[in-house]
Amino acid sequence: MIERQDPWPRRPQLLGVWTAQELEVALVRTAYGDAELESALQLVIDQGPGAFALLAAGLLTVQPDVDDLGGGLWAEIEWADIDDAVITGALRAEPGELAALRKAARVAADR
C-alpha cells in the first residue's frame, strides 16, 4: 500500500469543524488576564486576515479543552512565524490586514 504524503505538511490537521467566532473566542480565552495580549489579539480579530487564514497558514495552534473545566477551545498565534508564512505564500493577506497582524505581533512580543 502506498502511503500518501500530506501536500500541506505545515498546515494543522483539523480536529473538528469550527466557526470563525469559536476560533476568535479561543484566542481571547488564551489571553485572559494579559491585557496587552488581549489588545493585540483584538487588533488581529478586528483588522487582521481572519482566523481561517491564520489556521490555513499554520499560524494558529488550536487545542480542544486543555483543562478539566470543559471551557472549550484554546488557540494561540505563532507570532514568530508570520514573516515566513508571508514569504512562502502560506499566508495571503491584504496590506492593511498584514500591517495589523505585524503590529499585534510587536505588541505581543513587547509584553
Task: Provide, rounded to the nearest whole percent, the portion of the chain with pLDDT above 70.
Answer: 79
Structure confidence at residue 8 as a pLDDT band (50, 70, 90): very low
Amino acid at 35: A
Residue 86 has pLDDT above 50, yes or no: yes
* Cβ contact 55:8 at 8 Å: no
In this structure, the dihedral spanned by the alpha carbons of residues 65, 49, 43 and 35, taken in order and rounded to 10 degrees, is 20
Residue 7's pLDDT is 46
Residue 63's pLDDT is 85
Tens-place pLDDT, residues 56-77: 999 999 887 666 666 678 899 9
Q: Stretch 87-104: mean pLDDT, rounded?
A: 95
Helix, strand, coil fractions of the chain, as percent rounded to 5:
50, 5, 40
Which of 107, 8, 23 is CA-nearest to residue 64?
A: 23
